[in-house]
Amino acid sequence: MITDLVQIRTLAKAKEAENVDFRRHISVHHPPPQLLAQIAAKITAAIDCTQCSNCCRETLVEVSEGEIGAIARFLNSPVADVVREYTVGGRMLRQNADGCVFLDGNLCMIYAVRPQACREFPHLTLARATLGGRISSIERNAWLCPIVYNALEAYKSALGYPKSRPDAT
C-alpha cells in the first residue's frame, strides 16, 4: 500500500488517462458498487488519516447554517463570530497557509462537530450514493488521498482492469 503523498501525486498524474478510461469502463460495465466499498473499508482500516490530513490541507469545505451553529456551540462562541472568523461568506470554511482553519498539525480541532463533507470523506464506504462517491470524483481525487488512490487501484485490479478491456494486450 502506498502512503507517500509525493509518490501518490506522481502516480495519479501518470494514470490520469487510464483513470478516465476506467471511468468510461465502469459506466458501460456497471460492476457492483459494494465491491469498491468493501475494498475501501479494508484500506481505510489500514491507513491512519491523522498521519496525512492532506484532505484538510487541499480541499475546500462547504458548511451549512446548521453546521456553523454546531461549531459555534462547540466553541462556545456566537454564530456571528464563527461566521466572521472561520468562514468565507458564511459558506466555506476558511483556509490558512496550512489548510483548513481548524487543522492543528494533523488533527481537527472541531472533530466532534466537523461538517458532513469532512465526516464522509473520502466518500468510498458510504451505504448511500454521494457526489463524492461517484467514480468520477474518486478518479479526480486519487492524487489527494492515500485511501482513495489505493482503493481505486485495488478496485481496478479486482475488476481485472485494464486487461478486461477488449483492446488491452
DSSP string, 48-76: -GGGT-HHHHH---B--HHHHHHHHHHHT
Query: Structurally, how many domains does the chain consist of?
Result: 2
Same domain, 53 and 126: yes
pLDDT digits (tens, 9 = 90+) for 89-124: 999 999 999 999 999 999 999 999 999 999 988 877
Count of C-beta atoms within a 10 Å radius of residue 24: 12
In a shared domain, residues 52 and 133: yes
- Evaluate if residue 127 carries a pLDDT over 70: no
Domain range for residue 129? 5-57+121-158
Residues 36 and 137: their CA atoms lie apart, in Å, by: 13
Q: Are residues 13 and 43 in the same domain?
A: yes
Q: What does the pLDDT read at residue 93?
A: 97
70-79 average pLDDT score: 98
* pLDDT value at residue 125: 59
168 in a structural domain: no
Whole-model pTM: value is 0.85
Domain contains 131: yes
Q: Are residues 88 and 39 in the same domain?
A: no
Question: Residue 132: what pLDDT?
Answer: 43
Q: Please report which confidence band the pLDDT of residue 163 belongs to, taking 50, 70 and 90 as the band edges.
A: low
- Domain annotation covers residue 86: yes
The pLDDT score that the predictor gives to residue 131 is 43
pLDDT in tens, 7-65: 999 999 999 999 999 988 888 888 887 888 899 899 999 999 999 999 999 999 999 99
Q: 126 and 142: one domain?
A: yes
Q: What is the mean pLDDT of residues 125-131?
A: 51
